[in-house]
């Protein structure tokens, strides 16, 4: 499995980008599945897979295979705006079935799910998928599918159009994970020529900057469009972020680079552009955009970029306003609740250092890790007063 190294910090951040890197990771962690929820979701989808494939069941002859797709496969989940439940997408891929009418496949999967009393109670029919509602935690959207060719490409039934729609979640994830590589790892891989296997799902502490970037873009999308997702679909954000990311290690600088890249590319295109599926040329992810939607998408990117740059490189006036101004701007981007919570976590970490005798001060008065050369220990104290 391709994983980033878990990050541990012995030093305190020494510049704004380093501070922002840590702050943004905290915002992401507050927005994604907790490790317990993650394991729980994995258990649930394995159980669904076992049920669908069980011997003697309606679908057993089609050897169904259940695997995650979308944000769960990419490691880019964020809790939807104003909701406590995560959307997790699964593919239920049958075999030797592409000759069947699309609706038949959909109905077969539905019938098999409904044959389980537990699932029946929480089952819901949606346009392309079947939804299992795990109230208060997440819902699993199960997309019935048939293979299209040997390359992981599949077709999925569209109930409304009653036709097969093309999809390639495994191919897209392979492309995305390849784009996640850090610049130095990329060089290493080119030298060795090795190919890593595809990860099934990535636990949060091992995430790459690009995965965090997509989470942050989705979170700001949810804030900027008040929960509306049709203009800045996750697949568009993922494709653009993956296209413009250049392997930087610093999350904040990488995010700035991605937003710069998207901004300049779109500013040069006055009319609605195509945003092609990188693994299926010809498929346009932006096929629902009209000029108005495109303009709103551009303004979302512009706003994101301006706010982020103001935090990274503040004016002198804003610098004098200290953390308060940056927190206000970050609140506009990701919601003040999560940003304040991230500050609270930062404060807890600072207090742990302080109480553990690991806090130091450098000669300019900058708080630092005690391990830093030239720093002196900050003795314990208790602030006094009302």
Catalog residues that contact another protein under the rule CB under 8 A. Answer: 12-16, 18-19, 319-324, 326-328, 340, 343-344, 346-348, 350-351, 354, 359, 361, 363-367, 376-379, 381-386
CA–CA gap between residue 21 and residue 201 (Å, rounded) = 23
Minimal distance in Å, beta carbon 346 to another protein?
Answer: 8
Minimal distance in Å, beta carbon 310 to another protein?
Answer: 13
Query: Between residues 226 and 381, which has the closer beta carbon with respect to another protein?
Result: 381
Query: Between residues 19 and 119, which has the closer beta carbon with respect to another protein?
Result: 19
> If you compute the radius of gyration of the chain from its CA atoms, what whole number of angstroms results?
23
Q: How does DSSP assign 287-354, residue by residue?
A: TT--HHHHHHHHHHHHHHHHHHHHHHS--HHHHHTTHHHHHHHHHHHH-HHHHHHHHHHHHHHHHHHH
> Running DSSP on this structure, what letter comes out for residue 198?
P
Minimal distance in Å, beta carbon 249 to another protein?
Answer: 18
Q: Are 157 and 106 a contacting pair, CB within 8 Å? A: yes
Query: Between residues 282 and 364, which has the closer beta carbon with respect to another protein?
Result: 364
Minimal distance in Å, beta carbon 329 to another protein?
Answer: 11
The Cα angle at residue 234 between residues 114 and 267, in degrees rounded to 5: 160
Q: Which two tokens stand for residue 133?
A: 């509602």
Query: Between residues 76 and 252, which has the closer beta carbon with respect to another protein?
Result: 252
Minimal distance in Å, beta carbon 167 to another protein?
Answer: 43
Query: Between residues 97 and 311, which has the closer beta carbon with respect to another protein?
Result: 311
Q: Long-range contacts for 372-381 (Cβ within 8 Å, ≥24 apart)?
A: 372/11, 378/354, 380/354, 380/355
């Amino acid at each position: 499995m391709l994983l980033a190294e878990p990050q541990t910090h012995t030093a305190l951040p020494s510049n704004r980008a380093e501070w922002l890197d840590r702050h943004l990771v905290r915002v992401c962690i507050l927005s994604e599945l907790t490790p317990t929820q993650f394991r729980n979701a994995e258990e649930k989808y394995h159980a669904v897979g076992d049920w669908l494939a069980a011997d003697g069941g309606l679908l057993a002859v089609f050897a169904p295979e259940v695997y995650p797709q979308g944000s769960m496969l990419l490691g880019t989940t964020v809790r939807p705006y104003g909701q406590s439940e995560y959307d997790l997408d699964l593919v239920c891929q049958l075999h030797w079935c592409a000759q069947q009418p699309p609706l038949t496949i959909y109905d077969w999967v539905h019938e098999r799910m409904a044959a389980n009393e537990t699932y029946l109670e929480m089952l819901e029919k949606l346009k392309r998928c079947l939804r299992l509602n795990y109230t208060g935690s997440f819902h699993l959207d199960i997309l019935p599918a048939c293979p299209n060719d040997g390359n992981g490409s599949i077709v999925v039934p569209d109930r409304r159009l009653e036709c097969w729609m093309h999809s390639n979640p495994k191919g897209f994830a392979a492309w995305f994970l390849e784009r996640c590589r850090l610049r130095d790892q990329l060089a290493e891989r080119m030298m060795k020529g090795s190919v890593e296997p595809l990860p099934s799902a990535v636990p949060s502490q091992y995430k790459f900057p690009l995965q965090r970037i997509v989470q942050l873009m989705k979170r700001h999308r949810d804030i900027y469009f008040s929960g509306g997702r049709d203009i800045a679909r996750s697949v568009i954000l993922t494709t653009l972020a993956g296209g413009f990311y250049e392997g930087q290690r610093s999350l904040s600088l990488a995010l700035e680079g991605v937003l710069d890249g998207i901004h300049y590319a779109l500013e040069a295109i006055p009319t609605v552009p195509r945003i092609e599926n990188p693994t299926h040329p010809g498929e346009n992810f932006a096929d629902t955009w009209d000029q108005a939607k495109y303009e709103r998408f551009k303004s979302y990117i512009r706003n994101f970029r301006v706010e982020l740059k103001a935090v990274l490189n503040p004016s002198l006036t804003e610098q004098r306003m200290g953390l308060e101004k940056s927190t206000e701007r970050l609140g506009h981007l990701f919601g003040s609740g999560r940003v304040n919570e991230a500050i609270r976590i930062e404060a807890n970490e600072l207090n742990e250092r302080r109480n553990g005798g690991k806090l130091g001060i450098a000669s300019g008065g900058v708080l630092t890790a005690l391990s830093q050369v030239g720093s002196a220990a900050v003795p314990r104290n208790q602030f006094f007063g009302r």
